[in-house]
Amino acid sequence: MSEYVPEDVRKIWLDIKEMRIRGAGRIARAGARALAIAAEEFKGKDLEDFMTYMERIAEFVRSARPTAVSLPNAVAYIMNRLKRSRAASLEEAVRAVVNAAEEFIEYSLNAVKIIGELGAKRLENGDVVMTHCHSTAAVSVIATAHNQGKVHKVYVKETRPKMQGLITARALADAGLDVILIPDSSVRYFMKKVNKVVVGADTIAANGAVINKIGTSLVALAAKEARVRMYVASETYKFSPQTVIGELVPIEVRSPLEIVTEEWLNRNPEVKVYNPVFDVTPPEYIDAIITEKGVIPPQAAILILLEEYGLTLTESFIKEPYELRESELGE
Ligand code: RUB
């Protein structure tokens, strides 16, 4: 019983690991869904067994993509709600997990909409935008600004090796924008043709540094040189509480087989292939971080962290349930 992991939870875990589910927001929502499924599929009858089982499931879900902070933050949100529910029966405990997961997912989806509205205010009529990788939050900003008649043209970087730029190109073309897909290596060449950069974030550190898909820091460098404004769209659950206590954000390194074939590797045994998939953009390269709680300078990241997680950082990072502010939805 204690080793039991429901099939659907294993499937979500594998989908995250193998990047069929990807992007920090989607990963967090999938993690929340996995916890709800696990709770509903618990086979035992005892509340204490359930609590132990959920701890183990939480650890399992977190391990799917260990460097994406949105995932442990989503899991912590739900597990804290479970603990604080002081459930007196198994049924109450299951309900507490399912409710918290649904609440997190709803919050997360609304946050993306709010970010779209707030971010679009930073874009002006006639702006030409560049973006990198595929970020739902960044797409929300660009598409909202397009709906408001401000932005018509966007340069989308292909984002090797996994080519997430193709997903972005499709999404923004569907939203009605003129999309120009460009090679990663052309970022400096095209920077003279754009006047705003909008990207997403995997993780935001306490000092305002942004960890996002490899190549983001080069976009930021080129933007700074060309005096192009650089905006990062990020939900607050991507801010990393561990960085407040001095932890560094680990950078995920993936398989060389995302870059070359196995056959090529075997033919060239003396060549090492290294595939880090995120990089760090220092705060001084970022004009603003657009969150669902407001647009902040990167240096104010610590304020978001203190508001969200409190001054005392313990194993339980999230102190209060998120509150939705309907007025910011712009609907
Ligand atoms: C995706 C990536 C995205 C952020 C934000 O990397 O770096 O920019 O996760 O995405 P990967 P979103 O494809 O390796 O997961 O705004 O959708 O949360």
Contact yes or no for 155/193 (Cβ under 8 A):
yes
- Catalytic residue, chosen from 127, 202, 279, 287, is 202
- Catalytic residue, chosen from 49, 133, 174, 287, is 133
Among the listed residues 162, 170, 157, the one whose alpha carbon sits nearest the alpha carbon of residue 199: 157
Per-residue pLDDT tens for 140-152?
999 999 999 999 9
For residues 53 and 61, give the distance between their C-alpha atoms in angstroms, rounded to a whole number.
Answer: 12
Distance of CA 203 from the midpoint of ligand 1 (Å): 9
pLDDT band at 216 (very low <50, low <70, confident <90, very high): very high
Among the listed residues 168, 175, 166, the one whose alpha carbon sits nearest the alpha carbon of residue 147: 175
Nearest CA, atom 6, ligand 1: 23
Pocket test for ligand 1, best of 21, 73, 130, 135 (most atoms within 8 A of CB): 135
DSSP notation for 50-114: HHHHHHHHHHHHHTTSTT-THHHHHHHHHHHHHHHTT-SSHHHHHHHHHHHHHHHHHHHHHHHHH
- Classify strands 278-281 and 203-204 as parallel, antiparallel or unpaired: unpaired
pLDDT band at 295 (very low <50, low <70, confident <90, very high): very high
What number is the average pLDDT over the span 28-42? 98
Domains of the chain: 7-113 (1.20.120.420), 114-309 (3.40.50.10470)
**Around 18, how many Cα atoms within 13 Å sit in the side-chain half-sphere?**
7
Length of the chain: 331
Is 133 marked active-site? yes
Burial of 267 (0-12, 13-18, 19+ CB in 10 A): exposed
Q: What is the model's pLDDT at position 311?
A: 52
Contact yes or no for 297/199 (Cβ under 8 A):
no
Distance of CA 224 from the midpoint of ligand 1 (Å): 22
Question: Is the minimum distance from the CB of 213 to ligand 1 under 6 angstroms?
Answer: yes
Arithmetic mean of pLDDT over the chain: 93
Nearest-atom index, ligand 1, CA of 234: 16
For residues 204 and 314, give the distance between their C-alpha atoms in angstroms, rounded to a whole number.
Answer: 19
What number is the average pLDDT over the span 175-197? 98
Among the listed residues 36, 28, 47, the one whose alpha carbon sits nearest the alpha carbon of residue 9: 36
pLDDT band at 126 (very low <50, low <70, confident <90, very high): very high
Helix (H) or strand (E) holding 275: none
Pocket test for ligand 1, best of 73, 160, 213 (most atoms within 8 A of CB): 213
Residue 15 neighbours by CB under 8 Å, 6+ apart: 21, 30
Question: Is the minimum distance from the CB of 69 to ligand 1 under 6 angstroms?
Answer: no
Distance of CA 25 from the midpoint of ligand 1 (Å): 7
Nearest CA, atom 12, ligand 1: 135
Question: Is the minimum distance from the CB of 277 to ligand 1 under 6 angstroms?
Answer: yes
Q: What is the model's pLDDT at position 323?
A: 36
Distance of CA 252 from the midpoint of ligand 1 (Å): 13
Strand partners, 164: none
Q: What is the model's pLDDT at position 67?
A: 83
Q: What type of residue is 160?
A: R
Q: How far does the chain reach from its first CA to its final CA, in angstroms?
A: 47
